[in-house]
Every structure is written in C-alpha cells, then in structure tokens.
Structure 1
Amino acid sequence: MRIALSQLTTGPDPEKNLRLVEEWTRRAADAGARVVVFPEASMACFGTPLAPLAQPLDGPWADGVREIALATGTVVVAGMFTPADQGRVANTLLATGPGAEEPVEESYDKIHLYDAFGFRESETVAAGSRPAVIDVDGVRLGLATCYDVRFPELFRAHADAGAVGTLLAASWGAGPGKLDQWELLVRARALDTTVWVAAVGQADPGTGPGPVPTGIGHSLMVGPDGTVRASLGADPELLITELDVEEVGAVREKTSVLANRRPDVWR
C-alpha cells in the first residue's frame, strides 16, 4: 500500500488549511498514494483559540476533507478539533475516503493529552477514551496522535485489533533532545508491536510561541522490525512510502513479542 506523509505547516485559518489539504492530497494522489496522512492540528495550528473554531464531524471542514478524498480517490487522515464538554475541544483525527467495498469513515480522539514540557493540553482539550482502526482495501491501520507515541499500550491495542500499521499524526514540540525522542519513540512503538508506523509531523515553522507545540518535521516511515525506511528533514515536504503487509508476518515469525507476552503476570 502506498502511503503519503504530508509534512506541511498549518496556520490559524481553517479554510486556508483546507486548501492546503486539497493541494497536498492532489499531489499525493498524482504520485499514486492510496492513503494520505496529514499532521495533528491540520485544521488550525496550536496557539490558536480552539473552542471558537471547533466543528463537528458533520461540519463544513470535515465535509471539505471528505470531498477532497472522494475527488482524489484517496483515504485522507487529518487532524482537526471537534466540540467537547466544559468549553473544551477534542483533538480529533478524521479518516475518510472511498473504500474497495464500503467507504472509510472513522474518527479518533486523542487519548493521552500533552501535559508536559511546560504545556497543558488538558486545559483546553478533553481526552478521548476509545482506540480506533480503519480498514483500507483489506489493510487494517490504527490511528494515533502525537503524545500517544509515549504509550505502548495504544499501539499494542492496534496490533491486537489486527492492524499491520499505525498512522501517527503529530505537532511535535521543539526543544533540546526532542528530535532524538521523536525518532526513538516511533521506532520503539514499531518494535513493541511489529507493525509499520507512518509518523507525520508539522514542518518546522521557525520561531514558535514558547511552549506551544508547533513542529520539527522529520516525518518517517518505520518498518515492523524498527528500521527507518524513509524520512524527511525539517522543511515542508511530501514523502511517498510503501507499506508491505506481508513483511509484518515475516517479522513476527522471527520476533514474537506479541505472542510471547505474559498478561497473566501483570494483571
């Protein structure tokens, strides 16, 4: 399966960002991509007041993404914000597009909120409570967002649900050691679960507003053996990658970390 990682930089205007999603999706489709993955906060960058711009999953921004996916024959995965309780929003990944037998339509609300490195996402964002997977032409893929990468149990849940890959969308905060952590964590989650991890972040926008997460770029595709198969630098760029479903089975024959687990010990 050909997957495109769209490492762009979004701003505060959802309509302008939707046009970016359209432009980059068309470029990816022209390159033969079946799935096009955009970063967290594709609807609007962090540092923007989120509650006033949040829209429901049947609102105009999500419908615009659906139209783009349908027009290009791709499945688009993009980060947006949906209304939640107490004046907060949900940090949502929308996955939508035509399927071989039925349309792909799923959403995932970020479970693990980024209360770290001087930023408190929980003040404006409500945590999700449900893992999500999608099926694209018979290939099952999990959905994850940014800080989720620090929590192996979510990625194991994807594998237990039959996923051969996880699509990880991020707006990774910059800072000392953060690039090393990003690459290490993405590779570790692939090794934990023997699945592919397609990790796309916002490109580096330069000087950001203090602790607000913006992006460092360095999107990467990691194989089920933990090796980096393709990667980008810091600037906006489109990465076209390949996910080999059969390789997951081959790796699991050699490294049976899922089969060798001992859940009875940890209960």
Structure 2
Amino acid sequence: MQVTLVQLAATLDSAANRAQVEARLSDLDGSGLVVLPEATMHDFGPADHDLAAVAEPLDGPFVDLIAREARRLGSTIVAGMFERTDDLPYNTLVVVGPDGGLAATYRKIHLYDSFGYRESERLRAGAIEPVVVPVEDLSVGLMTCYDLRFPELARALVDRGADALVVPAAWVAGEHKAEHWRTLLRARAIENTVWVAAAGQGGSRYTGRSLVVDPWGTIVEEAAGGDELVTAQVAVDAVRASRDVNPSLANRRMSTP
C-alpha cells in the first residue's frame, strides 16, 4: 500500500488551513493512506490562545473537507484537529475512509506537559483506549506526537493487532528535539517490528522531518523542514518477514500489570 505523509505548517486561520489542505491534496494519486499532521485544522498558537473558541465538532467544516477529499482520492485520510466539547477540547485524530465516512477517532492520551509547556491547561486528555483501524490489508494503530515517548501505548496497539503505527505530530523544535523524534520513531519500529509513518508539522516552530520507518528500523523516506510530501510503499509482508527473523514479541516473558 502506498502511504503519503503531507508535511505542512498550519496557521491560526482555520479557513486558510482548509484551503491549504485542499491545495496540497489536489495532485495526490494512488495512495491508500494519506496522513496529515497533528493540529492541521488550526495551529496551537501561543500559550494564551483559546483553543476552545476555535474547536470544531466532528461534523464541522474541517472533517467535512477531509471527507470530500477522501472520497475524491479513494483514500483513507488521517488528520489532526481540536474537537469541541462543553469544556476543554480534545486533541483528536480523525480517520476518514475512502467512502467519506468517519471510520475512527483517537483522542490524544498523553498531553504535552513537558519542556516547559502544559498542554493540559488548554486541552483534555482522551480516555485510555488504544485505537487500531484497518486500512486495506494493514492494521493501523494511532498515536499523536507526545504519545511517542510512551512505549507502552505503542505496545498496546501492537497487542491489538497493529502492524503499522501512524504518528501525526506538531513536534516543537528545540535542542535535542529532532534527535529525539527520529530516535523514538525508529525505536518504536524496532521494538515492535512494525512500520511507523509519522507526519509532522513543518515551518519555523516545528521540527518537520516527516518520515517512514520499516519494521527493521530503517528510515526509508524522510522530509526536511518545509512543505513536503513523503511517499512510501508499506507492506504487511515486511512485518511478517521481520518477525520470522526477530520474534521478540513472541519471546516476551513479562506482561504489563
């Protein structure tokens, strides 16, 4: 299956972001899975920016756009948004199938209360419910940005059948951050013998470097920091082959409490 990662820099103008997404997807062709970054609907903005005021329902204009584009492309699209509630919004990934229907949602479990930032003051954490969704012949597990630092979530997704992990992110730039991003993505692939496809926001604020890692931990495609597309062929046979040689999941003797 072809996977396309769309690296972009969102703004504080939701309508402009929708127009950007529509333009970036206009020339795509042949991808079974298209992945957009975390917060594609609307950027996080400064710490005092009210995300509740801009959050949208799951039947709002952002998801409507993603549904139209999924139908047009005949692809499954994963994209990040802020989902409206009666209080703080969720940091949500929507998965829209090629028929335009909402196939799944994942509400970010681990909020980014780290590196001097407190995402939990602006957003609410999702329930601890790992989400795996079928896309063609793959089972795809969903993680968002800071979730990457918690290997137990990746393992829970694999235990639920995931043979690929998809990681939309707005990975804030800074000292050590690009090294952490690349290292953690490769580690999640190696320790779980799965594909990892990570779509990051680019621009000056974020790390960019969207990439695809194979089940051996090899980076097969990687972007730099600008508006780029990353395309790779992802096959479940590679997962089976790596697990035949390295059956570390089958060799486990410890279980989580």
Shorter-chain TM range is over 0.9
Query: Scaled by the length of structure 1, what TM-score is found?
Result: 0.90
Q: CA deviation at 1:217?
A: 0.8
Distance 1:133 1:228 in 2: 23
Verify the 8 A CA contact 2:137 2:236 in the aligned structure 1.
no
Task: Describe how 1:166-245 pairs up with structure 2 within 5 A.
Answer: 166-203=165-202, 205-206=203-204, 214-245=205-236
Letter in 2 for 1:195: V
Q: Name the counterpart of 1:211.
A: none
Q: CA deviation at 1:103?
A: 5.2
Q: CA deviation at 1:104?
A: 5.9
Between the aligned residues of both structures, percent identity stands at 43
Distance 1:16 1:107 in 2: 23
Q: Structure 1: which 5+ residue stretches go unaligned?
A: 207-213
Q: Is 1:81 paired with 2:82?
A: yes
Q: Name the counterpart of 1:52.
A: 53
Query: Scaled by the length of structure 2, what TM-score is found?
Result: 0.94
Distance 2:220 2:196 in 1: 10
Letter in 2 for 1:38: L
Matched position secondary structure for 1:251:
helix
Q: Name the counterpart of 1:116.
A: 114
Kindly report the root-mean-square deviation, in angstroms, between the aligned alpha carbons of the 2 structures.
Answer: 1.6
Distance 2:26 2:157 in 1: 29
Distance 1:140 1:103 in 2: 18
Distance 1:19 1:128 in 2: 28
Verify the 8 A CA contact 1:113 1:121 in the aligned structure 2.
yes
Matched position secondary structure for 2:34:
strand
Verify the 8 A CA contact 2:141 2:157 in the aligned structure 1.
yes
Q: Name the counterpart of 1:33.
A: 31
Matched position secondary structure for 2:143:
strand
- How many equivalent residue pairs? 253
Q: Name the counterpart of 1:161.
A: 160
Q: Name the counterpart of 2:17.
A: 17
Q: Name the counterpart of 1:97.
A: 97
Q: Structure 2: which 5+ residue stretches go unaligned?
A: none
Letter in 2 for 1:88: L
Letter in 2 for 1:249: R
